[in-house]
């Protein structure tokens, strides 16, 4: 795994810097599949993975050596889990403009969005917001020139290489193509987030 850099983050965590999002996804899959017993949590982001360590199980230096070894030969792949299906009404405020920007019809955009096998690369922005990526999605979608001050909960959006669903009302600059009633974040659920890093997602046109 090229471009691997490991730095201490406090006295019981390591921050792994990587060159690409694909490398982050690969390392997350390796840690998930072959987890070192001292790792108590690992949090991916766009170019990093934070690894939290229980030093009573093994010293931080031991986990660092293990990370270097597994990153050098990332043979593990994402777990073959069933996808989370999210029903979407494709009536978003930016649906028509987005299809024009991408040079496809509205019907073609919806077809590509529902045909893609998405996965959660990482979470952020607000609790429950998952940044979705797909090898089946060829588009780079420009963000809005001026973000909206209010995006409703359940809005389905696109920005750059990512797809996503707003878990609650918030500002946002993604282009909105639809709406879902799926609950993305519930504090009384276990786990509270519907979509965790590594999860697979499929969108389905609501009937």
What are the residue boundaries of the structural domains of the chain, listed by start? Answer: 5-72, 84-205
Query: By the 8 A CB rule, do 136 and 192 touch?
Result: no
The SS3 call for residue 68 is helix
- Predicted TM-score (pTM) of the model is 0.88
Q: What is the pLDDT of residues 51-102, one digit of tens each?
A: 999 999 999 999 999 999 888 775 555 555 789 999 999 999 999 999 999 9
Q: What is the pLDDT of residue 76?
A: 53
How far is residue 203's CA from residue 163's CA, in Å, rounded to a whole number? 10
Query: By the 8 A CB rule, do 167 and 90 touch?
Result: no
Mean pLDDT, consecutive 10-residue segments, the chain of 207 residues?
A: 84 94 90 92 94 96 93 62 93 97 97 97 93 96 96 97 97 97 93 92 93
How far is residue 193's CA from residue 61's CA, in Å, rounded to a whole number? 32
CATH number, domain 5-72: 3.30.1360.40
84-205: CATH superfamily: Cyclophilin-like (2.40.100.10)
């Amino acid at each position: 795994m090229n471009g691997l850099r490991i730095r201490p983050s406090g006295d019981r965590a390591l921050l792994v810097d990587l060159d690409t999002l694909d490398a982050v996804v690969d390392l997350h899959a390796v840690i998930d599949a072959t987890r070192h017993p001292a790792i108590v949590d690992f949090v991916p982001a766009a170019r990093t993975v934070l690894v939290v360590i229980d030093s009573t199980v093994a010293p931080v230096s031991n986990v660092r050596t293990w990370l270097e070894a597994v990153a050098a030969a990332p043979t593990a792949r994402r777990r073959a889990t069933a996808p989370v299906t999210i029903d979407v009404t494709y009536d978003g405020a930016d649906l028509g403009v987005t299809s024009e920007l991408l040079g496809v019809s509205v019907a073609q955009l919806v077809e590509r969005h529902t045909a893609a096998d998405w996965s959660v690369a990482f979470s952020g922005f607000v609790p429950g917001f998952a940044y979705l990526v797909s090898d089946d999605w060829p588009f780079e979608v420009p963000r809005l020139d001026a973000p909206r001050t209010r995006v409703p909960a359940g809005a389905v959006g696109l920005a750059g290489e990512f797809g996503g669903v707003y878990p609650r009302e918030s500002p946002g600059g993604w282009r909105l193509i639809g709406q879902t009633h799926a609950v993305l974040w519930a504090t009384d659920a276990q786990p509270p987030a519907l979509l965790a890093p590594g999860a697979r997602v499929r969108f389905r046109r609501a009937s």
